[in-house]
Amino acid sequence: MIKKSSYNVAIVGVTGAVGAMILQILEERSFPVGNIILLASSGSAGKQVVFSGETYRVEELTDRSFKNIDIALFSAGSERSVAYAPAAVKSGAVVIDNSSAFRMDRDVPLVIPEINPLDLPKHNGIIANPNCTTIIMLLPVKALYNYSKVTRIVVSSYQSTSGAGAKGMRELMDQTRDWAEGKPLVNSAFSYPILFNLIPQVDSFLENGYTKEEMKLHNETRKILSDDEIKVSATCVRVPVLSSHSEAVTVQTREKITAAKARELFVNARGVKVLDSPESRLYPMPINSSDQDLAVVGRIREDISDDNSLTFWVSGDQLRKGAATNAVQIAELLING
């Protein structure tokens, strides 16, 4: 991308939870925005959105929305990405896509800036943002991988309602209010009420018994690490939490890594924060890992069932580092060469 003092940016899906967070992150990180175009479906067109102290009108997304745009940040789901990302590229924009539409496309780099920034220049106009659960897991896993090759990962995720967007968060809040008022719980964002409940299904089931979300962890991990031999088995669970996903991760490595060495590797890893003091009851939780951009790691211990395995717990803000911040960091890599 040609180096400039400012860049024209389009945000697709700006009225959704991730789109709104992208707008916030651009402002927080002082991204050099020239003109900004805010795009959404016809139902949201006309809404007013504030960015950097100025009020902007949301425009309806069309094939003609990307004239003179340098970077288009998509957060409106796979269907709209497939329909409109090619039009953005044709207009001269580089697309950074938050959906799963292009993640496994051979010609589309799947990038976590702290892990595989060298994949970025391979793009042909579209760069994919990984799944939020994958990002939060791989930030600490890569620190171990760099020391000793990881051969197998078993992960259970505890995914907040923010993973289903604004409607998921709203449903949890509505059910909390309705329960307090003695009203029946109504669910539409999830298959069952999420209040006081856990739902062991995130996305739809596949023929192998895993869900699409679980297979994303398997497939995306292999692509990001450029390792088709690593084995990943995931169980993804929706939990009644507003923000931040958490994961229990067991990693098997070729050579033994002690808990002390793992702690040292995590401390020195980009994008990772260690909060690991069991005697003081200090460990990552959604309540202390939200509203920031690090994967917070704790409960670090050697797996008593396997000599070459480690187990740890990690939490991270799904809307920020799991989505919006990672996308903006990709944009920063683009403009900084």
Q: What is the mean pLDDT of the chain?
A: 97
Give the pair of three-digit tokens for residue 245.
Answer: 């996903």
| Residue 33 parent element (H or E) | strand 33-40
pLDDT at residue 199, rounded to an integer: 98
From the list 123, 218, 236, 245, the catalytic residue is 245
- Specify whether 132 is catalytic: yes
- Given a cut of 90, is residue 335 above it in pLDDT? yes
Structure tokens at 63: 């094939």
Separation between Cα atoms, residue 140 and residue 266, nearest integer Å: 6
Question: Which pLDDT belongs to residue 234?
Answer: 98
Question: What domains sit in the chain, N to C, each tagged with a CATH number?
Answer: 7-129+323-336 (3.40.50.720), 134-318 (3.30.360.10)
Q: Which of 123, 132, 218, 236 is catalytic?
A: 132
- Could you tell me the CA-to-CA distances from 137 to 65, 286, 287, 312 in Å, in that order? 35, 15, 18, 10
Q: How far, in Å, CA of 32 to CA of 335, rounded?
A: 9
- The pLDDT score that the predictor gives to residue 337 is 77
- Is residue 35 within 8 Å of residue 63, measured between CB atoms? no
Tell me if 238 sits within 8 A of 162, measured CB to CB. Answer: no
C-alpha dist (Å) from residue 295 to 143, 292, 317: 12, 9, 8
- Say whether 291 sits in a helix, a strand or coil: coil
Q: Give the pLDDT confidence of 255-314 residue by residue, as tens digits.
A: 999 999 999 999 999 999 999 999 999 999 999 999 999 999 999 999 999 999 999 999
Instruction: Tell me what pLDDT residue 173 has.
Output: 98
Q: Which neighbouring-strand residues pair with 201?
A: none
* The pLDDT of residue 166: 87
Taken in order 41, 43, 45, 51, the sign of the CA dihedral is negative
Q: Are 230 and 222 in contact (CB under 8 A)?
A: yes
**3 state SS of 159:** strand
For residue 1, pLDDT beyond 80: no
- At 165-205, the pLDDT tens digits run 889 999 999 999 999 999 999 999 999 999 999 999 999 99
Identify which of 288, 242, 296, 328 has the alpha carbon closest to the alpha carbon of residue 21. Answer: 328
